[in-house]
Amino acid sequence: MRMTNRIREIQSSATMRIKEQALRLKSEGKDVVDLTAGEPDFPTPEAVRAAAAQAISDGYTRYTAVSGLLEVREQAAEKFREDNQLNYQPDEIIVSTGAKQCLINALFTLAEAGDEVLIAAPYWVSYPEQVKLSGALPRIISTDQATFKLTPENLAAAITKKTRVLILNSPSNPSGVVYSEPEIRELAEVIRGHKIWILSDEIYEKIIYDGRRHFSPAQIPEMFERTIVVNGVSKAYAMTGWRIGFAAGPRPVIRAMTRLQGHTTSNATAVSQRAALAALQGPQDFVEHMRDTFQKRRDLIAGLLSDAPDIRFLMPAGAFYFFLDISKFIGKSFDGGKIENAAGFCESLIDYNQVVTVPGDAFGCAGYIRISFAASEERLTEGMKRLKNFTDCLKDSDC
């Protein structure tokens, strides 16, 4: 008995695999500094939890419309109008089981066998695998490591007659880069003359630092009808486990995504939708507080790493990750062996002093690791201390 080629070609999620390793070490009683988290470490706001409890009490435990509760889609439309100056109607929005399902719904709708989907590296680990599942081919575009941003020049060079979709992620996981309005307009100018969709992953929209402003390609009039915007409540409201994302785009595409979802998960969980509604409708001071806290943590880590010149990084402008260049330590000896790649660095770091990070290979960049600052200042300080101790050790031939 055999399994399909498509499932044999899919790689397991590196972030989830590393997370499981951290949980195992913790269960063994080890003092683990886990820097893998792809989710805020804040509790879901009390008002949101109360709304969910009330929904259960009121009996909101049955199927909803496949595309989501009308009230949630109306509130998402209001969010797009207020935050992004985008005018979507409720039937141009679909609510799904997390932004991840929105992305795969869109890829299954827009790409098929023989098509190419453009992805800039470093990229979120699931993009290439989702493209493969759709039957299309992920075409990875290398970026300058000084910026980690897609440029008009390398975008233009990557486009072929088979190009169907460009995935754009800003703010970016794992690099933390944020594309400015002029930069996005330049990219849009390149694809203007091609029949290419933009799949814009904006899930970290609310977590941007230093007064920068988010800009969506859908805000460019010529791009509005060819952009699918993906967002949700997971990151902004610390609601990762609630699994609510939403996508907005041209009505025919959203209808097609809804047909697909009707045969996979049906609707997103009814109770979670009521919770998401409360998050979108309620006071937004929680979001501001969380972002300010993340910025302080970002600055803390940058300061702690300032005396580690062999660990290089770009200051993240958004999200809650540092993407660290540890290439100077590849080839170093540790515990009688040689560190061959970033994965080997991460494994050795765990063995040395139980700091858990994610290898950059999973994001399309060799010689890098990703650390999350979704942890307390105390644990972040301890984690950076242990990381520097390990890299200092690697400089010693006896390590």
pLDDT tens column, 104-155 = 999 999 999 999 999 999 999 999 999 999 999 999 999 999 999 999 999 9
CATH number at residue 80: 3.40.640.10
CATH number at residue 295: 3.90.1150.10
Instruction: Provide φ and ψ at 395, rounded to 5°.
Output: -75, -15
Greatest CA separation found in the chain?
A: 66
What is the token pair recorded at 210? 């230093």
- DSSP tag of 135: T
Say yes or no to pLDDT of 325 above 90: yes
**What is the chain's mean pLDDT, rounded?**
95
Give residue-wise pLDDT tens across range 207-238.
999 999 999 999 999 999 999 999 999 999 99
220 inside domain: yes
Answer with the one of 223, 258, 281 that is the final residue of a domain: 281
399 inside domain: no
Residue type, 318: G
67, 258 contact by CB (below 8 A): yes
Residues 119 and 191 in one domain: yes
Residues 78 and 12 in one domain: no
Residues 50 and 160 in one domain: yes
Torsion 33-29-346-237 (CA) sign: negative
- DSSP tag of 269: P
- Alpha-carbon distance of 139 to 286, in angstroms, equals 38
Q: How many domains does the chain have?
A: 2
- Structural domain span for residue 15: 5-43+285-394
Split at pLDDT 50, 70, 90, the class of 398 is low
- CA dist list (Å): 295 to 45, 146, 219, 278, 320: 19, 21, 27, 25, 8
